[in-house]
Amino acid sequence: MSLFTCPLERKKTENLFRVMIVLGIIAFFIALSCYALTGFYSRYWADDYCFSALIKENGFWGGLVKHYTTWSNRYAAYLLVAVSEFFGSYAIQYLPAITIFVLVLSIAWNVRLILNILAIPSLGWIPYLLGAMLTFFILYTAPNLFQSLFWRSGMVSYFAPIIFWCLINGLVLFQTFKSNQTQKNFHLFTLFTSVLILFSMGTSETFAAMLTGYFAVLGVGLGIKFKNIKKIPGFYFILLGVLVLGWIIIFLAPGNQVRLDYLTPASDILSLIHISFANALFFLSQTFRTMPIPLLILCFTVLLIFYHISAGLKYQHTWWGSLLIILINALVVLVLLICLCAPTAYSMQSYPEARALILGRVVILIALSFLSAYLGIHSHAFMDKIVDTCLVSILILGLLWVYPLRDAIKSWQNLGEPQARAVAWDARNKQIQQSIKKGMTTIEVTPLNSVYGIYELTSDPMFWVNQCAAKYYGAYLIRAVDR
């Protein structure tokens, strides 16, 4: 007998829950729309000029060859920028909105697959709510959201890979648990997954390392599931081969040495492991120290949702089994974070850039969501004795929707800053283009403040940002002079 008895019939309870889910989707959609609106004020900053100038001077494929041979192994990052440039300079303003809502759909697809595997009713809109919720918390907890999302050069290397990871994971889930696949479908899905892996590894070494850790964990999981290495699906070994091919392309890039000449690589493998492990632990502890409230809200919300949708389902569990799952989950998080930190530890013996750490936040948020869902499913044994599944949990969910709306109000109030910055950039852009039309080759402009750690035009025309901007606009020299 529960302390709070549900005053509603089962059907009315389900209808109320569906209404609350829709309200949650609306709340998170409003919050995500504010982030998307902020993205409309994105402009060219720092490396954006270099990418665009490279494409302008060498063409689509010529720019790729020059980028790979003279500077960087991030071939996919270049290709994503090149596709953006195909739609014109104003396409950069729509990229944040597009990537945000594509990520929502990608996560929702994964959630639907997982619910089908666990035979849990999704009640229609649950995957979209969880997709919007996770996307919101990814943005809200990002260490440097401006560099990770609103700066195109950072977005193609660190935010876009999150979408690729979701797609790869969804395809792996589909291939692993879809028993009625035909041979034709098997080859098709394996080919598509292979292309995604090979492409996404070229976004950044950070993501490539994390994806490698993911496949290592996946291999262990498949080994436990099938209890025999010979029974592991063949597509996994094909994908491992693609992963190796991706690393060969990354390591053979002639541009690697150009960048390493400016850096101080780790001296030996033990130093690499030590630095990576220490940085992973520091990031993990920092996340929980600085983000306790959003993490608790995410966990509690996911727990309540899965507590409700799993009502009436019977799952066997033991306390030892639950403890083992928690420990395995923590170990997986640590492995992925170590992999994420490894490239920076190898190349610079330092902590990863804040924009790259958004990938680490994604790992932590997914792990916490998984544990919360697990606790929600298995909590009926003791929670049903305290509170009824229907009214109290539903009303609490309604209160939790205030959190994204609160952030939406804050984002709306802060729109003035990116808007003013975009207006100043547009005025400077217009000035430069008019000067070019008049035949001027040496151009002086009013400087803009550097924001969120991104370099701006300086008074030194030989500074790399000035040189890239000059190439982009077709000028000889550009400098920013404060008069």
pLDDT tens per residue across span 29-49: 999 999 999 999 999 999 999
302 contact partners, CB below 8 Å, separation of at least 6: 130, 133, 368, 369, 372, 373, 376
**Residue 180, exposed/middle/buried by CB under 10 A (0-12, 13-18, 19+)?**
exposed
pLDDT recorded at residue 378:
77
pLDDT band with cut points at 50, 70 and 90 for residue 1: very low
265: left (phi over 0), alpha (psi -120 to 50) or beta: beta
pLDDT tens per residue across span 273-331: 999 999 999 999 999 999 999 999 999 999 988 888 877 666 666 677 778 888 999 99
Give the H/E segment covering residue 480: strand 477-480
pLDDT recorded at residue 315:
66
- Domain locations along the chain: 424-480
Look at residue 399 and tell me whether its pLDDT is greater than 70: yes
pLDDT tens per residue across span 216-250: 999 888 888 777 777 788 888 999 999 999 999 99
How crowded is residue 216: how many other Cβ atoms within 10 Å of its Cβ? 16
Strand pairing of 442-445 and 477-480? parallel
The answer to whether the CB of 41 falls within 8 A of the CB of 151 is no
pLDDT band with cut points at 50, 70 and 90 for residue 3: very low
The SS3 of residue 443 is: strand
255 contact partners, CB below 8 Å, separation of at least 6: 67, 68, 69, 70, 71, 72, 73
Does the reported pTM lie above 0.85? yes
Look at residue 7 and tell me whether its pLDDT is greater than 60: no
Task: Give the ranges where 227-318 is alpha helix by DSSP (H).
Answer: 234-251, 255-260, 269-290, 292-309
